[in-house]
């Protein structure tokens, strides 16, 4: 079964209604390592409701786990070869700070299907509008998936359309050192904690599943490393003020293993005081794991 462009673009997603609590917000932050250092008071607002009487603060990247429709690409009627699907990029824009607890609704749709050619795969963009139960827009989230087994779909059924892809993300500068560097060590059980935010893929928990997929051990969720980069940007460029966070787009280049050290490198965009280019690498292997990053703060 092959992709039907018109059917997939018109696919109806039921609104995903979700209630999250202060406990969920704290657990999300704890799974990313906030609170590992008991003397790091900059982490307290994300894991403790009593800091300076200001109440709990939500990490902006928590938007990517809210209103998620699940791994729907594996449903037979999609025509997608789901075994060969890779999460290629994640893009997010916040329209207002996330409350520490709320009832939210995720409205999901497939916005782009781009054919790279027979044997070369296809690119699918799934966009989610995250709103409060009252209809206020909180965030727009785009998941870019590489459908490795679905190239050539536009040549089928007498010829189907193929969308122009999203504007490409740009590589970080090679001609100058980063303006900021942030170092975060992940905990060995980080993936087991992070999965409690909703992604229960056994690849991140079961050694047998990870080894069958070609990894020596379970890997950290890509969106967990995305959250770590968000934390690095807040710490290095925003004085820890989550309300200043506006956007983060990034490409997943290679997996991270729980327990490894993530080094986030940040460059100011010339002529701007609010835009940055970002990449992250694993210190122990000197391996770039997130690349082509773009971030914006207020």
CATH number for the domain spanning 59: value is 3.10.129.10
**Structure token digits, residue 99:** 């409350």
Greatest Cα-to-Cα distance within the chain, rounded to the nearest angstrom: 65
Query: How much is the pLDDT for 1?
Result: 66
pLDDT at 111 over 70: yes
Burial of 246: CB neighbours in 10 Å, binned 0-12, 13-18, 19+: middle
Tokens 């607890």 sit on residue? 101
Is the pLDDT at 76 greater than 80? The verdict is: yes
Q: Is 60 part of a structural domain of the chain?
A: yes
Residue count (the chain) = 298
In a shared domain, residues 132 and 44:
yes
What is the arithmetic mean of pLDDT over 93-115? 98
Do the domain assignments include residue 268? yes
Mean pLDDT of 264-276: 98
Tell the residue number behind the tokens 């300076």, with chain if given: 52
Q: What is the pLDDT of residue 73?
A: 93
On the question of pLDDT at 98 being above 90, the answer is yes
Residues 150 and 187 in one domain: no
pLDDT score at 287: 98
Select from 117, 138, 155 the last residue of a domain. 155
Q: Same structural domain for residues 187 and 283?
A: yes
Residue 216 belongs to a domain: yes
Average the pLDDT over 66-92 and give the result: 94
What would the mean pLDDT of 51-60 be, rounded to a whole number? 88
User: Pick from 264, 295, 202, 248: which is nearest to 89 by CA?
Assistant: 248
Mean pLDDT of the region 267-294: 98
Asked if residue 211 and residue 262 are part of one domain, the reply reads yes
| CA pair distance 222, 293, nearest whole angstrom | 14
Of all residues in the chain, what percent carry a pLDDT higher than 90?
93
140 and 43 in a single domain? The answer is yes
The sign of the torsion formed by the CA atoms of 107, 112, 115, 119 equals negative
Q: Are 141 and 64 in contact (CB under 8 A)?
A: yes
Domain identity same for 138 and 28: yes
- Kindly tell me if the per-residue pLDDT of 114 is higher than 90: yes
Q: pTM above the 0.85 mark? A: yes
Mean pLDDT of 67-87: 93
Query: What distances in angstroms separate CA 196 from CA 132, 139, 200, 229, one per listed residue?
Result: 22, 21, 7, 20
Mean pLDDT for 55-82 is: 95
- Domain total for the chain? 2
Residue-level pLDDT at 158: 82
Chain segment 172-220, per-residue pLDDT in tens: 999 999 999 999 999 999 999 999 999 998 999 999 999 998 999 999 9
What token pair was written down for 283? 């210190």
Average pLDDT score over residue span 82-102:
96
Mean pLDDT of 60-82: 95
User: Average of pLDDT values for 274-293?
Assistant: 98
Average pLDDT, the chain: 96
Note whether residue 22 is domain-resident: yes
**Could you tell me if residue 161 is inside a domain?**
no
Write out the catalytic residue numbers. Answer: 199, 204, 219, 222
Nearest to 77 by CA among 127, 131, 3: 3
Q: Is residue 172 part of a domain?
A: no
What is the domain range of residue 250?
A: 180-297
Exposed e or buried b per residue across 104-141, where buried means at least 16 C-beta atoms within 10 angstroms of its C-beta: bbbbbebebbbbbeeeebbbbbbbbbbbeeeeeebbbb
Q: Answer with the residue of higher pLDDT: 50 or 175.
A: 175
Pick from 250, 291, 266, 223: which is nearest to 91 by CA?
250
Q: Is the pLDDT assigned to residue 51 strictly greater than 80?
A: no
Q: Label residue 93 by pLDDT band (50, 70, 90).
A: very high
């Amino acid at each position: 079964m092959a992709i039907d462009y018109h059917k997939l673009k018109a696919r109806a997603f039921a609104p995903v209604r979700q209630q999250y609590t202060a406990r969920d917000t704290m657990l999300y932050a704890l799974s990313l390592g906030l609170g590992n250092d008991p003397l790091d008071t900059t982490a307290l607002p994300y894991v403790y409701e009593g800091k300076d009487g200001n109440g709990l603060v939500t990490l902006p990247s928590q938007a990517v786990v809210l209103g998620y429709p699940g791994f729907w690409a594996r449903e037979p009627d999609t025509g997608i070869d789901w075994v060969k699907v890779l999460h290629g990029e994640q893009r997010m824009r916040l329209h207002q700070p996330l409350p520490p607890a709320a009832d939210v609704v995720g409205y999901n749709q497939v916005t782009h299907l781009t054919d790279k050619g027979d044997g070369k795969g296809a690119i699918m963009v799934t966009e989610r509008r995250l709103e409060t139960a009252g209809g206020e827009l909180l965030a727009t989230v785009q998941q870019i998936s590489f459908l490795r087994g679905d190239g050539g779909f536009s040549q089928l059924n007498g010829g189907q359309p193929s969308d122009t892809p999203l504007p490409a993300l740009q590589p970080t500068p090679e001609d100058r050192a980063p303006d900021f560097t942030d170092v975060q060590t992940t905990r060995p059980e980080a993936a087991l904690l992070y999965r409690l935010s909703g992604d229960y893929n056994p690849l991140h928990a079961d050694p047998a599943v990870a080894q069958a997929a070609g990894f020596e051990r379970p890997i950290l969720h890509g969106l967990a490393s995305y959250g770590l980069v968000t934390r690095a940007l807040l710490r290095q460029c925003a004085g820890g003020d989550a309300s200043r966070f506006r956007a983060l787009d990034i490409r997943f280049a290679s997996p991270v293993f729980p327990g490894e050290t993530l080094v986030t490198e940040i460059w100011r965009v010339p002529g701007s005081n609010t835009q940055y280019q970002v990449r992250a690498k694993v210190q122990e292997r000197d391996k770039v794991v997130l690349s082509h990053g773009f971030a914006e703060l207020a």
